[in-house]
Amino acid sequence: MDAGKRGLWASETARVTIVAALVAVYAVGSAYLNLAWHTQVVYTHFAYVPVVLAGLWWGRRGMAVAGLLGAVLLGFHAVGIAASPLWHDLARAGFLAAAGGCAGLLSEEAEAGRRAARLSEEQHRRIVEKSLSGIVVYRPSDFRVTFANRRFGEMLGCPADQLVGRSIWEFIAPDEHARVRALVAEREAGGTSDLHYEARLVRADGSALWADVLSSRAPHAGEDAVLVNAYDITARKEAEGKRRELSDIARRQEDQLVHSTRLAELGEMAAAVAHDLNQPLTGIRNFAKNALFMLEEQAAGSEEVKENLRLITEQVDRAARIINQLRGMTRKTERQLAPLDLNAIIRESVEFLTP
């Protein structure tokens, strides 16, 4: 027999002993008063004590004690020592039975309420302990933890009972304190009860974890408190970081591929570009020779020489545009989104392809 059962057995034995002693005292006292004093008036109400105790302890089964005391009263009439009329004792026995029944019924209802409360408490405790979220309750007055479930302890790598009594700020990364305090102050100023944010928590070994936190103002154990639900999102945060890193690598590789493609296209266009540059260079040479001949031989006036110089300038500008376009194709730049003048692009392309 374990300690709990032994304690229950000892308690039940003590109750039986007390009720039996009170019944015996009542029976002996009643017999003495009936024989010596021929009255029961001074001892009548003592019978309610064991009756009520039996009802409180055993419920309606305790009415057996009321029946036993009623039998004692009627037994005095059977042996001829009763000092009261029979109808008095019959009424008294009925009152004892009624008192025992009422006490037993109230006791059973109270016990049923206690069992329901214990069951509800046990169910809620199981729900809290089996929850996938870490649950912690703290007092807003001093930020001391009053409750933490097993999951929250597992998240921090520490038994849950060792978290009780510590400040909630011990579990939040120091560089997060200012931001979280500002959020809490904003909630208090706005008069709202719920607060949702992400923060880094500190494990017992000093490592950090990311948590999705939802805190609400709620009474706990009869006092104002804050209920916090925390979900471990470290894996999600790490996956997001990996995705961003891979996205950056893919973007850089794509830019490198675009640049390589442009260089390859430039190589394919080398012959055509050489032809395009040779045209303005040939024109420049011919116009220059022509202007020189006019000046040496005085074969034309200044206007004809100026016209040749103007044509040379145009060809130089055309060659410069071709070279700048080639530089733009080979230049490696960051990709940017901006408005584009399609007409200008078309004009440049047509000019570039002009024979």
Decide if 95 is inside a domain: yes
DSSP class of residue 301 equals -
- Taking 3-state DSSP, the helix, strand and coil percentages for the chain, each rounded to the nearest 5, stand at 70, 10, 15
- How distant, in Å, are the alpha carbons of 21, 303, 309 from that of 63? 17, 140, 133
| Same domain assignment for residues 319 and 228 | no
| Same domain assignment for residues 34 and 115 | yes
Decide if 239 is inside a domain: no
Decide if 54 is inside a domain: yes
Residue 31 exposure: Cα atoms within 13 Å on the Cβ side: 11
Decide if 20 is inside a domain: yes
Decide if 49 is inside a domain: yes
Q: What is the CATH number of the domain that holds 280?
A: 1.10.287
- Could you list the pLDDT tens digit for every one of the 355 residues in the chain? 555 555 555 588 888 888 888 888 888 877 777 777 666 665 677 788 888 888 888 888 888 888 888 888 788 777 777 767 787 778 888 888 888 888 888 888 888 888 887 777 777 777 667 777 888 899 888 899 988 888 888 889 889 888 899 999 999 999 999 999 888 888 877 777 788 888 999 998 889 899 999 988 877 666 788 888 999 988 888 888 888 888 888 888 887 877 777 667 666 666 666 666 777 777 777 777 877 777 777 766 777 777 777 877 877 777 777 777 766 665 656 667 788 888 887 887 776 566 4
| Same domain assignment for residues 40 and 118 | yes
Decide if 263 is inside a domain: no
Decide if 66 is inside a domain: yes
Last residue of a domain, one of 111, 128, 145: 128
Q: What is the CATH number of the domain that holds 194?
A: 3.30.450.20
| Same domain assignment for residues 10 and 109 | yes
Q: How far apart are the C-alpha atoms of 111 and 117, rounded to whole Å? A: 10
Last residue of a domain, one of 93, 128, 163: 128
CA dihedral 209, 212, 214, 215 (to 10 degrees): 20
| Same domain assignment for residues 207 and 141 | yes
Q: How far apart are the C-alpha atoms of 74 and 89, rounded to whole Å? A: 7
DSSP class of residue 275 equals H
Looking at the 3D structure of the chain, how many domains does it have? 3
Q: Read off the pLDDT of residues 100-116 as tens digits, 9 standing for 90 and up.
A: 888 888 888 888 888 88
Q: Which domain holds residue 212?
A: 132-232
Last residue of a domain, one of 232, 251, 282: 232
| Same domain assignment for residues 50 and 136 | no
| Same domain assignment for residues 10 and 114 | yes
| Same domain assignment for residues 289 and 329 | yes
Q: How far apart are the C-alpha atoms of 249 and 71, rounded to whole Å? A: 97
| Same domain assignment for residues 55 and 102 | yes
| Same domain assignment for residues 99 and 114 | yes
| Same domain assignment for residues 114 and 15 | yes
Decide if 250 is inside a domain: no
Q: Whole-prediction pTM value? A: 0.47
| Same domain assignment for residues 114 and 148 | no
